[in-house]
Amino acid sequence: MKVYNAKGNLAEGMGACVTLSNPVLLTAIKSRCSACFDNCNNLTPYAFTLTYLELDGLPINSLSGIEHFRSLQNLSCRHGQLESLPDNLPNSLLRLDVQNNKITSLPILPTNLQFLQLAQNKLTKIDSLPAALRELYCNNNLITFLPKIPSTLTLLDCSNNLLRTLPASLSNLNSLIAYNNQLIELPPLPSQLVTLDVKFNSLTKLPSLPSKLSSLYCDNNSITCLPLLPNSIYSISINNNPISCIPNKITNRIVHLNGKELPLCGIANTNLIAAVQKVCPSCFDECLKIKKEEVEKIANLNLSGQNISSLEGIELFTSLESLNISNNPITCLSNLPKSLLNITIDTDKITCIPDSLPALKVYNSLGQLIPTPEKCVKILDNILANSIRNSCYGCINDCNILLPPSQSLTRLTIYQAKGIEELVKLKALTHLSCQGCEGERLPILPKNLRSLTWTNGRLTRIENLPDSLMEANFSSNQITEITNFPINLRTLYLQNNKIKTLQNLPDFLQIIDVSINQLFSIEKLPNTLINLNVLYNQLSSLPDLPSSLQVINCSQNPLITCLPFLPQGLKSLEIYGNAAIKCLPNKVDNLTLSTNYTNPLPICSLGDPNLIIAIREVCSTCFNSCFEINHEEALKITNLEISGKAINNLVGLENFPNIQTLNISNNNIVCIPFLPENLLSLTIDAEKTTCLPAHNPNLRVYDKSGQLINTPALCPERISDINFAQAIKRQCPTCLDDCNNLLPPAKTLEQLNITYSNIKDLTGIIGFQS
Task: Kindly provide the residue ranges of all beta strands, DSSP E only, lying in 77-189, ordered along the sequence.
Answer: 95-97, 115-117, 135-137, 155-157, 175-177
Rounded-to-integer distance, Cα 31 and Cα 401, Å:
72
**Pseudo-torsion of CA 538, 540, 546, 547, nearest 10°?**
110
Task: State which H helix or E strand residue 462 sits in.
Answer: strand 461-462
Q: What is the pLDDT of residue 714?
A: 85
Residue 350: alpha-carbon gap to chain centroid: 39
DSSP 257-291: ETTEEPPBSS-S-HHHHHHHHHH-GGGB-TT--B-
Which residue did the predictor score with more confidence, 554 or 251? 554
Q: Rounded mean pLDDT of 280-287?
A: 93
Rounded-to-integer distance, Cα 44 and Cα 287, Å:
67
Q: What is the pLDDT of residue 260?
A: 92
Integer-rounded Cα Rg, in Å, for the chain is: 46
Confirm if 579 and 560 have CB atoms less than 8 A apart.
no
Please count the other Cβ atoms lying within 10 Å of the Cβ belonging to residue 646.
13
| Percentage above 70 pLDDT, the chain | 98
Q: At 142, is the pLDDT very low, low, confident or very high (cuts 50, 70, 90)? A: very high
Question: Which of 386, 450, 440, 392 has the alpha carbon at shortest distance from 417?
Answer: 386
Strands 256-257 and 260-261: antiparallel
Q: Rounded mean pLDDT of 279-308?
A: 93
Rounded-to-integer distance, Cα 199 and Cα 184, Å:
12
Measured at the alpha carbon of residue 665, what is the angle toward residues 661 and 670, in degrees to the nearest 5?
A: 110
CATH fold group of domain 270-375: 3.80.10
Q: At 646, is the pLDDT very low, low, confident or very high (cuts 50, 70, 90)? A: very high
Rounded-to-integer distance, Cα 62 and Cα 70, Å:
17
Rounded-to-integer distance, Cα 694 and Cα 761, Å:
9
Q: Rounded mean pLDDT of 107-134?
A: 97
Confirm if 443 and 420 have CB atoms less than 8 A apart.
yes
Q: At 8, is the pLDDT very low, low, confident or very high (cuts 50, 70, 90)? A: low
Confirm if 483 and 464 have CB atoms less than 8 A apart.
no
Question: Which of 126, 60, 117 has the alpha carbon at shortest distance from 94?
Answer: 117
Confirm if 459 and 477 have CB atoms less than 8 A apart.
yes
Rounded-to-integer distance, Cα 590 and Cα 47, Å:
88
Task: State which H helix or E strand residue 256 sits in.
Answer: strand 256-257
Q: What is the pLDDT of residue 214?
A: 96
Q: At 28, is the pLDDT very low, low, confident or very high (cuts 50, 70, 90)? A: confident
Q: At 9, is the pLDDT very low, low, confident or very high (cuts 50, 70, 90)? A: low
pLDDT in tens, 435-474: 998 889 998 999 999 999 999 999 999 988 999 999 999 9
- As beta bridge partners, residue 157 has 137, 177
Res 12 pLDDT > 80: no
Q: What is the pLDDT of residue 13?
A: 44
Question: Which of 386, 405, 385 has the alpha carbon at shortest distance from 395?
Answer: 405
Strands 551-553 and 572-574: parallel
**24-36: b (≥16 Cβ within 10 Å) or e:** bbbebbeeebeeb
Confirm if 57 and 77 have CB atoms less than 8 A apart.
no
Q: Rounded mean pLDDT of 104-127?
A: 97
Rounded-to-integer distance, Cα 109 and Cα 142, Å:
20
Mean pLDDT over each residue of the chain, to the nearest integer: 91
User: SS3 of 634, please?
Assistant: helix
Least confident stretch, 18-32, 304-318, 464-478: 18-32
Rounded-to-integer distance, Cα 482 and Cα 476, Å:
15
Rounded-to-integer distance, Cα 214 and Cα 226, Å:
15
pLDDT in tens, 536-583: 999 999 999 999 999 999 999 999 999 999 999 999 999 999 999 999
**Pseudo-torsion of CA 57, 60, 64, 68, nearest 10°?**
-40
Residue 690: alpha-carbon gap to chain centroid: 64
- As beta bridge partners, residue 363 has 344, 369
- As beta bridge partners, residue 375 has 353
Q: How many helices and strands in the chain, by DSSP H and E?
A: 9, 40
Q: At 16, is the pLDDT very low, low, confident or very high (cuts 50, 70, 90)? A: low
Q: Rounded mean pLDDT of 519-536?
A: 96
**Percent composition of the chain: helix, strand, coil (DSSP 3-state, to 5):** 15, 20, 70
Task: State which H helix or E strand residue 612 sits in.
Answer: helix 609-618
Res 3 pLDDT > 60: no
Q: What does the DSSP 8-state code read for residue 527?
A: T
Q: What is the pLDDT of residue 708?
A: 92
Rounded-to-integer distance, Cα 399 and Cα 330, Å:
10
Confirm if 318 and 298 have CB atoms less than 8 A apart.
no
Which residue did the predictor score with more confidence, 500 or 689? 500
Please count the other Cβ atoms lying within 10 Å of the Cβ belonging to residue 262.
16
Q: What is the pLDDT of residue 5?
A: 52
Res 216 pLDDT > 70: yes
Res 737 pLDDT > 80: no
Rounded-to-integer distance, Cα 225 and Cα 211, Å:
18
| Percentage above 90 pLDDT, the chain | 66
Res 358 pLDDT > 50: yes
DSSP 446-457: -TT--EEEEESS
Q: What is the pLDDT of residue 14?
A: 42
pLDDT in tens, 624-643: 988 999 999 999 999 999 99
Question: Which of 301, 334, 348 has the alpha carbon at shortest distance from 400?
Answer: 334
Q: Rounded mean pLDDT of 200-209?
A: 97
Q: What is the pLDDT of residue 273?
A: 94
Confirm if 153 and 135 have CB atoms less than 8 A apart.
yes
Measured at the alpha carbon of residue 608, what is the angle toward residues 503 and 634, in degrees to the nearest 5?
A: 105
Domain boundaries, the chain: 270-375, 631-715, 722-767
Q: Is 548 exposed, middle or buried (0-12, 13-18, 19+ CB in 10 A)?
A: middle
Res 220 pLDDT > 80: yes
pLDDT in tens, 409-445: 999 999 988 877 888 889 999 999 999 988 899 989 9
Confirm if 629 and 623 have CB atoms less than 8 A apart.
yes
**666-701: b (≥16 Cβ within 10 Å) or e:** bbebebbbbbbeebebbbbbbeebeebbbbeeebeb
Q: Is 124 exposed, middle or buried (0-12, 13-18, 19+ CB in 10 A)?
A: middle
Q: What is the pLDDT of residue 765?
A: 83
